[in-house]
Amino acid sequence: MNKSELVEVAAKEAGITKAAADKALSAIITAVVKTVTKGESVTLVGFGTFKSAKRAARTGKNPKTGATLKIPATTVPKFTAGTAFKASVAAKKSAAKKK
């Protein structure tokens, strides 16, 4: 599902226009990005948590030449699924396996 499909579903579920749903989704995404960029986390109970995580410097290998390279430390976004989200996905998978 891409953003436009998500906007369409959100508009239908909420009974609002696609334009309003797109504006709301864009505002939510912007708020999450700004908050995580500041180093804070965003928790949506039952869905999950968005936060930033530090990745340590490490050495890697160029797959083409085999040369060793240094990969610098960086900060990356991280998402951890909530309990309800995990349970929903697990239930869907187990139901599919039983068929």
All residues at 6 or more sequence positions from 69 whose CB lies less than 8 Å from its CB, including other chains = 59, 60, 61, 62
Comparing C-alpha atoms, which of 32, 29, 23 is closest to residue 52? Answer: 32
**Which letter does DSSP use for residue 39 in this model?**
T
What is the pTM assigned to this prediction?
0.78
Please answer whether residues 21 and 31 qualify as being in contact, where contact means their C-beta atoms are separated by less than 8 angstroms. no
Report the interhelical angle of 3-14 vs 18-37 (nearest 10°).
120
User: pLDDT tens-digit profile of 27-43?
Assistant: 999 999 999 999 999 99
3-98 — its CATH code? 4.10.520.10
Domain range summary for the chain, segments of one domain joined by +: 3-98
User: pLDDT tens-digit profile of 40-71?
Assistant: 999 999 999 999 999 999 999 999 999 999 99
